[in-house]
A and B are shown apart, each in its own frame.
Chain A
Amino acid sequence: MRSGKIVVENLYKVFGPQEQEAIDLLKQGWSKERILAERGAVIGVSDVSFSVEEGEIFVLMGLSGSGKSTLIRLINRLIEPSAGDVFIDSQNVAKLPHGQLIDLRRRDMSMVFQSFALMPSRTVLDNAAFGLEVAGVARREREERAMAVLKQVGLETFAQKLPHELSGGMQQRVGLARALAVNPSMIIMDEAFSALDPLKRREMQDVLLELQKTHRRTIIFVSHDIEEAMRIGNRIGIMEGGKLVQVGTPQELIDHPANNYVRNFFDTVNTSRYLTAGQLKTNSVPLYVHNGKAPDAAAVCQELLALDKHYAFVIDEQNKFRGSISLERIALLVENGQTCALDAEVLKQIEPLTEDLPLDRVIERLVDNEGPMPVVDNQGFYAGAISKGRLLARLQEAG
């Protein structure tokens, strides 16, 4: 079995008669369209397995009707699964007796909704305290705890207002406060920020990320906004037609999309923003190996002129970067005839870029440094170089 805070194994949901028969037919390879036409059953979720690590933000993405909202409701069992298991802290929620399920919901999981789903006749404070009230916490204590979470989301001065007196973004802060008040280890967020305008959405994403810094909770976040998914998600799961087609980090999904459906999601995104040094590196800079004996300056000078290159890198036998030198500097050395070897004292020392460095940091370093920058892999071995010209050409390609 997989490990993780939440482990979903072979989960199915069929809406309609004869759930088990429909699942058997799915396993025999029938398409969901054929099952709908011939058996009248709608396949909501089909054979989904994945796991979410403790403290992770896992984003579920997919077009509407792809089953993502159904899937999260199977996890907290607002919808009864047709088959399969959902383990939360190794406890199988799908098979839990009703009383224990209610106990789990009161204690350790909560949910944030697209339409906010606040009770219109309750004050902000009473809404935030709702979960605690249901769990039977005394008024005084629950109001104190609700007030504390309202402070966390910056709404303490609005405690006695009614929800309709607040803007959409503020209402969702109340929704978030309500979810936080019970101090759960996991939160399910169903398109929680989709109803907000782009500015407010970004603001709420920041609120969420800020909260995660102080107290890491396990969050399953449903979204149809790829920018949002990449911004807040540690990993993203892509759903299509009730199936989970791919799970991975944003970078993995961009680099190796499982199919065109996944690739299409990223079409609208300017993926160059998510490029890393490893993807930008080339071997455009001539390399010289310092094998106990420094390369000869005059020879290097000749070669650089012949290749029409302006820089050279020197590495050692272990493939570690030793330094860089420009053609101008070599030419000066050769002219003066002082020393003819490219030793440490004539080489320019540069802190190499690591392969996983994101584009914005790469640009920053390139701006600060004259000439191309070396890139090393995670073991510190030389892997390639990035020059300003190559970078611009690459961005134009991706643009």
Chain B
Amino acid sequence: MDKQLDLGSWVDSVVQHLLENYSGAFDSLGSVVSGFSEGIETLLMLPPAWLLIAIFVGLGLWRIGARFAAFTAVSFILIVLTGFWDQTVVTLGLTFSATLISLLLGIPLGIWSARSERVAMITRPVLDFMQTMPAFVYLIPAAMLFGLGRVPGIIATVIFAMPPAVRLTNLGIRQVNKEIVEAGQSFGCNGRQLLFKVQLPNAMPSIMAGVNQTIMMALSMVIIASMVGAGGLGNDVLASIQRLDIGLGFESGMAVVLLAIILDRITESFGTVKRATNKTTWYTWVSTKLRPQRQ
């Protein structure tokens, strides 16, 4: 069938226009993002592998339990033994950079749309668009505007991964029990106190669910972003497809899966209030000693 309406060429000319007239702005934005993500990557590369692994194992032990900590340890050792550790750290760095930028933009936007019907009305269709557009599609304009490398990868990832942070922050604040909000107001909270002392703490489980989803979506997107040269485990996945190398595909894919499970479980655990248990283990004992004591 013939094309009756050529939307694509309009979008194309918009991108061309941006490229011709605002390349300076995109360059400086690109260098900010690049510097930020390089900083995070350097930070992750700084400690030796065993220390980074120990940190994750420790987090798993504190938030979830001994079995999950053991799983984390075995997973990371498996990644080290198969020789994917360096790429895993790069992927982790990309995921963290994209997640942090997404949250930095997404959570305030979520708060704003919870407070204003108009903002909520505008953000909703935009978020739908951002989330449902096939992820690859963002890579084309991102690569054109920012060149190849980690920056377009991170920018495309931010666009893809930000919506849940906005949505679940907005939803979380709106769902705070009406009487709890009234309690805040009736005891004389001003706008800022109401937000920080009442709404955000009570919306925390929902916001943390948003953070969790953002991380998971960012992880899946940074793999795809290897197509524009973002690097990390995605490179190996891409190479295995190009060479039809089943072994490499399995190994690199497994590293992604293990990383995903570990990140998912740990961030999820921050969304649910850890119930007090009667069982005293050495680490609950330590954590009660570390908590500031009153009276």
Contacts and interface: CB of A to CB of B under 8 A. Distances in A.
Interface of A: 73, 76, 78, 102-107, 109-111, 113-115, 117-122, 125, 130-131, 133-135, 143, 160, 162, 165, 178, 182, 188
10 contacts: A102-B190, A105-B188, A109-B186, A111-B187, A114-B179, A119-B201, A133-B197, A134-B197, A135-B188, A188-B186
A131 B188 contact: yes
A131 B185 CA distance: 10
Given A121-B204, A125-B294, A76 B179 contact: no
Contacts of B186: 76, 78, 105, 109-111, 188
A72 to B, nearest CB: 10
B289 to A, nearest CB: 15
Interface string B181-193: 0111111111001
Contacts of B187: 105-106, 110-111, 130-131, 134, 178, 182
Chain A interface main SS type: mixed
Q: Which of B180, B185, B188, B294 has the most CB of A within 10 A?
A: B188
Contact of B180 (A107, A119, A131, A160): A119
A117 B177 contact: yes
B295 A121 contact: no
A130 B189 CA distance: 10
Q: Which of A111, A118, A134, A182 has the most CB of B within 10 A?
A: A134
B273 interface: yes
Nearest to B294: A143
A107 B187 CA distance: 9
A182 B188 CA distance: 11
A160 B288 CA distance: 13
A119 B202 contact: yes
B198 interface: yes
Contacts of A113: 179, 182-183
Contacts of B193: 134
B273 A121 contact: yes
B295 to A, nearest CB: 7
Interface string B6-37: 00000000000000000000000000000000
Contacts of B184: 134
Contacts of B198: 119
Contact of A120 (B179, B183, B202): B202
Query: Which 10 pairs between the two chains have the least Cβ-Cβ distance?
Result: A106-B188, A105-B188, A117-B179, A111-B186, A117-B183, A131-B187, A113-B179, A117-B180, A115-B179, A102-B188
Nearest to B198: A119
A73 B186 CA distance: 9
Contacts of B204: 121
Interface in B165-209: 177, 179-180, 182-190, 193, 197-198, 201-202, 204
A153 B184 CA distance: 21
A383 to B, nearest CB: 48
Nearest to A108: B188
Given A119-B202, A121-B201, A134 B179 contact: no
Contacts of B180: 117-119
A105 B187 CA distance: 6
Nearest to A135: B188
Nearest to B293: A160
A103 B182 contact: no
Nearest to A165: B276
A321 B170 CA distance: 77
A122 B198 CA distance: 10
Contacts of A111: 182-183, 186-187
B190 A117 contact: no
A117 B201 contact: no
Contact of B295 (A78, A103, A122, A143): A143
A125 B293 CA distance: 13
Contacts of B188: 102-107, 131, 134-135
Nearest to A126: B294
A200 B140 CA distance: 66
Q: Which of A73, A109, A117, A165 has the most CB of B within 10 A?
A: A117
Nearest to A133: B197
A58 to B, nearest CB: 18
B189 A78 contact: no
Contacts of B182: 73, 78, 111, 113, 117
Contacts of A73: 182
Contacts of A121: 201-202, 204, 273
B202 A78 contact: no
Contacts of A117: 177, 179-180, 182-183
Interface string B98-118: 000000000000000000000
A91 to B, nearest CB: 15
Contacts of A104: 188
A135 B189 CA distance: 8
A160 B276 CA distance: 12
A188 B177 CA distance: 19
Interface string B80-114: 00000000000000000000000000000000000
Contacts of A107: 188
Contacts of A188: 186
A120 B204 CA distance: 11
A131 B273 CA distance: 24
Nearest to B201: A121
Contacts of B179: 113-115, 117
A140 to B, nearest CB: 10
